Amino acid sequence: MDQSLSFENGLIELLPRLRRFAHALTRNPADADDLVQMAIERALRSQDQWQPGTRLDSWACRITRNLWIDTVRSRSRKEAFEAPPEEGERVGTDPGETLEASADVKRVIAAMQQLPDEQREVVALILIEGFGYKEVSEMLDLPIGTVSSRLVRGRTALLAMVGER
């Protein structure tokens, strides 16, 4: 198969996962799909930087995460600062949004949103996306110990907020 065609197919297959990751990172669905849009545009432009044979999913997630740091996160913060407090809970509470809003779902999403960004991204990559510690440490350019300690703090805080019995 033509290499660029296989790259495109790979990206298309990854879209559901990229959307899931973006929804876990950002605070509202519109930002999430904006983020995915930007990420795939950047991935297409940077195609020559991807080494065939290496994992496309971690490469694309890394692009998505870096864009989130650079653009969407700062924008969301600005909006959260300007918007009324309940705006931060919009995700999952609007019947028209992507996520089905049960009380449980709302609690999980609200808890994720309250995590500090550096914990949320590690939780999203390891507990939701299923990457290993080492992959995440390479993806985020962080020592594995830092990834591990952020994960401990993040999931402990989540458990306290979600209230598992």
Residues in contact with other proteins by CB under 8 A are 8, 11-12, 15-17, 19-20, 23-24, 32-33, 36-37, 40-41, 44, 98-100, 104-105, 108-109, 112, 123-124, 126-128, 132-133, 145, 148-149, 151-152, 155-156, 158-159, 162, 164-165
Nearest to 58 by CA among 2, 145, 132: 132
Nearer to other proteins, 42 or 55 (CB): 42
Give the count of alpha carbons within 13 A of 95, CB side only. Answer: 0
Please name the residues in contact with 76: beta carbons below 8 A apart, sequence gap of 6 or more.
26, 27, 28, 31
Q: Whole-number minimum distance, CB 74 to other proteins, in Å?
A: 23
Q: How many helices (H) and strands (E) does the chain have?
A: 8, 0
Nearer to other proteins, 82 or 157 (CB): 157
Nearer to other proteins, 61 or 126 (CB): 126
Q: Whole-number minimum distance, CB 138 to other proteins, in Å?
A: 14
Nearer to other proteins, 41 or 87 (CB): 41
Q: Whole-number minimum distance, CB 112 to other proteins, in Å?
A: 8
Q: Whole-number minimum distance, CB 10 to other proteins, in Å?
A: 10
DSSP string, 91-139: TTTSTTSSS---HHHHHHHHHHHHS-HHHHHHHIIIIIS---HHHHHHH
* Two structure tokens written together for 155: 């999931």
Nearer to other proteins, 15 or 83 (CB): 15
Q: Whole-number minimum distance, CB 156 to other proteins, in Å?
A: 8
Nearest to 141 by CA among 68, 39, 66: 66
